Amino acid sequence: MKLTKEQVEKIAQLARLKLTDEELERYAGQLTDILTYVEVIKELDTTGVPETSQVTGLMNVTRKDEARGGGKLVPSGASSSYVQGPLPDELLECSPLEKVDHQIRIKRIM
């Protein structure tokens, strides 16, 4: 599979990555090498072979639909003890952007 610079540009757009011209050139070559290599799997006859998407054998693991965190005591995951879950404002603090009235201010969408 040979990728052109234009195709790489399209992939980068899909992946929301801004790339320089120099990067586009370099990735066209490197992605072509990688895709050419992985094409070895095409020689395998996999007729009737199911796809593996996970290896635990677990199915439909569910839990009660109840809010966690919010400063409430929640299971620590570590033992039977309880810890205080993160507060909404603590989570907002993870954002590098300006916070206004407990919300993150972002760039215009349209």
Residues near another protein, by CB under 8 A: 3, 8, 11-19, 23, 27, 30-31, 33-35, 37-42, 44, 46, 49-58, 61, 63, 75-79, 81, 83, 85-87, 90-91, 93-97, 104, 106-110
In the complex, what is the shortest distance from the CB of residue 28 to another protein, in angstroms, rounded to a whole number? Answer: 10
- What minimum distance in Å lies between the beta carbon of 12 and another protein? 6
Q: Do 61 and 67 contact (CB within 8 A), yes or no? A: no
**How far apart are alpha carbons 66 and 107 in whole angstroms?**
32
CB 4 to another protein: min, Å: 12
Q: Environment class of residue 27 by beta-carbon count within 10 Å: exposed (0-12), middle (13-18) or buried (19+)?
A: buried
